Amino acid sequence: MRHRSFIFLAVALAVMIFGSVGVYAYDSSDDEIAEGITAAGIDVGGMTETEARERLHSELSYDLERPLKVKYRGNRFTLKPEDANIRTNVDEMVDRALERSQQGNVVSRSIRRITGGEVHEEIPVRISFDERAVRALVKRVARKVDQPARDASVSFDGGGVQPVAGRNGREVDTGRLTAQIRDSLVEPTSHRVVKVRVTTVRPKVTTKDLASKYPKIITVNKGTNTVTLYEELKPVKTYRVATGSPGYPTPTGRFAIQNKQVDPVWNVPNSDWAGDLAGRSIPPGPQNPLKARWMGIYGGAGFHGTSDIGSIGSGASHGCVRMLVPDVIDLYDRVDVGTPVFVS
């Protein structure tokens, strides 16, 4: 009786040992990834390590090897995958899938495989790229798309005062664009097309601001020998004057009234035309040709009254703008130091 019990026990023990050895051998010889595991949304369940790696490289390469395009109106900018140095963690995903497949004990894994059980696991893809390539692309887009605002201004073409309208500028939202490019690069199924967003840049000086910026302007037209006073960009009064002779022309360009004086002293320039008066200071009186008022604009040139009424309407001065005495007094009272003067 004891002999039979011993035989029965030995047989049972042998079955257990051989069964355990068989389960262990089955478990250790199976390098397949468990059913139900996906990587980057791709089903890799039931695959070997090599098969999973090949499948992931094949599936992801098509999306990742497409160039990224940035668009703004008619402008196109391209970032090639090789320039961005795009890389994926395929090996890491496969290792994680195998590791997850091996979780549990020998018996539970064997039962799962035999019964067709699944491991529900989604392994995310991790895509890396060269940040320098992204920054370079954003800078390239900004250089092409950015446009500075243009302030409203005043043009003196043709001898008159013409307002020049301001213009809005635009500026690439570089922070947003950088984020869009990054998101597109790390999303395998993205369209790889990014549209540029811009912000409007307003001019600091608008057309409406011009009148307050230029409350008064004086223009001198040497061709017609006239001076015109503009207030809030509109002509309010025109004076007949004498300008510089051909040998001593009134300077052309944009100036401003630098100083003002009532009954000015004439500091005679050291020029040959001044003769014996050169270098002298002539006080107000009959010998002083600067009558009533003085408004200097550049060097020794300026506006002044004259007693030589016959010269008005011609080029007769030594560079100054001669005016009738009532006219120079009138203009003097209307303008301030700093008033723009344009001579053409």
Higher-pLDDT residue of 118, 34: 34
171-194: average pLDDT: 91
Residue entry with tokens 């723009």? 340
Residue 30 in this model has a pLDDT that exceeds 60:
no
Residue 151 in this model has a pLDDT that exceeds 50:
yes
**Radius of gyration, CA atoms only, the chain:** 45
| pLDDT range class, residue 89, cuts 50, 70, 90 | confident
Residue 71 confidence (pLDDT): 97
Cα–Cα distance between 316 and 243 in angstroms, integer?
A: 6
Q: What is the mean pLDDT of the chain?
A: 87
| Surface-to-core class of residue 95, CB atoms within 10 Å of its CB (0-12 exposed, 13-18 middle, 19+ buried) | middle
Cα–Cα distance between 174 and 212 in angstroms, integer?
A: 35
Residue 49 in this model has a pLDDT that exceeds 70:
yes
146-153: average pLDDT: 96
**Tens digits of residue pLDDT in 120-143:** 889 988 888 999 999 999 999 999
Residue 14 in this model has a pLDDT that exceeds 70:
no
Residue 9 in this model has a pLDDT that exceeds 80:
no
Q: What is the pTM of this model?
A: 0.62
Instruction: State the DSSP code for 277.
Output: G
Cα–Cα distance between 133 and 20 in angstroms, integer?
A: 57
| pLDDT range class, residue 108, cuts 50, 70, 90 | low
Of the ranges 3-7, 49-53, 258-262, 276-280, the best mean pLDDT one: 258-262
Of the ranges 57-61, 245-249, 339-343, the best mean pLDDT one: 339-343
Which of these ranges, 13-22, 74-83, 140-149, 202-211, has the smallest mean pLDDT?
Answer: 13-22
Taking the alpha carbons at both ends of the chain, their separation in whole angstroms is 136
**Tens digits of residue pLDDT in 199-257:** 999 999 998 899 888 999 999 999 999 999 999 999 999 999 999 999 999 999 999 99
Q: Over pLDDT 90: what percentage of the chain? A: 58
Residue 225 confidence (pLDDT): 97
Where would I find the H helices in the chain? Answer: 2-29, 49-64, 81-84, 90-101, 106-115, 131-145, 174-186, 207-213, 325-334
Quick one: which of 38, 33, 39, 58 has its CA closest to 126?
A: 39
Contact 77, 184 (CB under 8 A): no
Residue 229 confidence (pLDDT): 98
Please report the sign of the dihedral spanned by the C-alpha atoms of residue 283, residue 285, residue 286, residue 289: positive
Q: Over pLDDT 70: what percentage of the chain? A: 86
Which of these ranges, 143-147, 281-285, 320-324, 334-338, has the smallest mean pLDDT?
Answer: 281-285
Residue 26 confidence (pLDDT): 43
Higher-pLDDT residue of 139, 23: 139
